[in-house]
Amino acid sequence: MSILITGGAGYIGSHTDLCLLNEGYDIVVVDNYDNSSPEALRRVMELTGKTFPYYEADACDEEKLAEIMKKHGVDSVIHFAGLKAVGESVRIPLRYYENNLLSTIRLLKAMETVGVKKMIFSSSATVYSADNQVPLTETGKLGCTNPYGWTKYMNEQILRDAAVADKELTVVLLRYFNPVGAHESGRIGEDPSGIPNNLMPYISQTAVGRRDHLTVYGNDYNTHDGTGVRDYIHVMDLARGHVAAVRYADTFKGSDAINLGTGVGYSVLDMVHAFEEANHIKVPYVIGARRPGDIDTVYSNPAKAKEKLGWQAEKTLVDMCRDQWNWQSHNPNGYAK
């Protein structure tokens, strides 16, 4: 039995591949390398000492997905494949709706064809409406502010509906908070194309000299130092959460949404200072205007993950900062030679 990993060459996918292989699972990866490189997969093999099949294919290609699942005896799927840049999704919404919704629909149809009944889906804290109280619990009100977020919201609905219609189907909707850091080896990590949208890669690319300075988006929020507060989670903790979700999917039928976060919020300046202290390096920054769409504070209530998955985040803020820098400093240009 094997697990199909769509988007398995990406940031979270590659770390999850590694955790699954180390736990003894067989995997098969499908990625179109739209935002990744097969080099990440080669490094996962190097780190684990294991090989696995991988295909350059589109997760919207229903026939190909069915063929791969059949050939490799797949019995569950982790669906990471998707486009994730919030700003880009506002500029080219149809590309986001097409890629992120069609991939899920075609994957579900391919699973139906070959009789695969378990799916773990990459959802996001972005599905929570901005008017919830923190910490965010899974029963919080849903609602989004950008096309990327709506694709996650709609995908959740599609998957819930599919699980109502097919009583044999199990769907775990994992709502990630802010993934950061890298595997402790520094061999795999996040390699955003172009200018990073997210804080942590921007900090580490500034530290390594690829960016002149970080712009802190606003210091007049209602937080302890005026900068935005988020729930940063180490990508290896997140990857372990997927292993726990694969096991959980064996225990029930239907759908369930679960937060993967630490339950602790840090501000932008907390992150900058922690990165500087952990790595003895300066991160030049300026205070700029607020980024449209951002809110004061987002962090999770991680209690359900502990109860249902038997999982909780273990890595510290220092681990996140050290591992982010270990990856960035050894791979200043990511996977590019």
User: What is the phi/psi pair of residue 97, to 5°?
Assistant: -60, -40
Nearest-approach distance from CB 59 to ligand NAD, in angstroms: 3
Structure tokens at 62: 């229903």
Partner in contact with 334, chosen from ligand NAD, ligand WQD, none, beta carbon below 5 to 8 Å by kind: none
Residue 241 binding ligand NAD, by CB under 6 A: no
246-265 residues near ligand NAD, rule: CB under 6 A: none
β partners of residue 258: 174
Tell the smallest beta-carbon distance from residue 84 to ligand WQD (Å): 5
For residue 19, the 8-state DSSP code is H
> Least distance (Å) from ligand NAD to the CB of residue 48?
18
Which element (helix H / strand E) includes 163? helix 147-165
Question: Which one from 148, 153, 221, 232 is the annotated catalytic residue?
Answer: 148
Helix (H, G, I), strand (E, B) or coil at 34: coil
First to last CA, the chain: 35
The angle formed by the CA atoms of residues 95, 97 and 100, to the nearest 5 degrees, is 95
21-60 residues in contact with ligand WQD (CB under 6 A) are: none
Q: Give the separation between CA 329 and CA 318, rounded to whole angstroms.
A: 16
Q: By CB under 6 A, how many residues form the interface with ligand NAD?
A: 28
Is 148 among the catalytic positions? Answer: yes
Asked if residue 13 binds ligand NAD (CB under 6 A), the reply is yes
The sign one gets for the Cα dihedral 144, 149, 151, 153 is negative
Q: For the window 38-77, what string marks contact with ligand NAD as x by the rule CB under 6 A?
A: --------------------xxx-----------------
| DSSP of 198-237 | SHHHHHHHHHTTSSS-EEEE-S-SSSSSSS-EE-EEEHHH
- Could you tell which of ligand WQD, ligand NAD, none binds residue 9, using a CB distance below 5 to 8 A set by kind? ligand NAD
Residues that bind ligand NAD (CB under 6 A): 6-7, 9-13, 30-36, 58-60, 80-84, 99, 103, 122, 124, 176, 179
Residues that bind ligand WQD (CB under 6 A): 84, 86, 124, 126, 178, 197-199, 202, 214-217, 228, 230, 268, 291, 294, 298
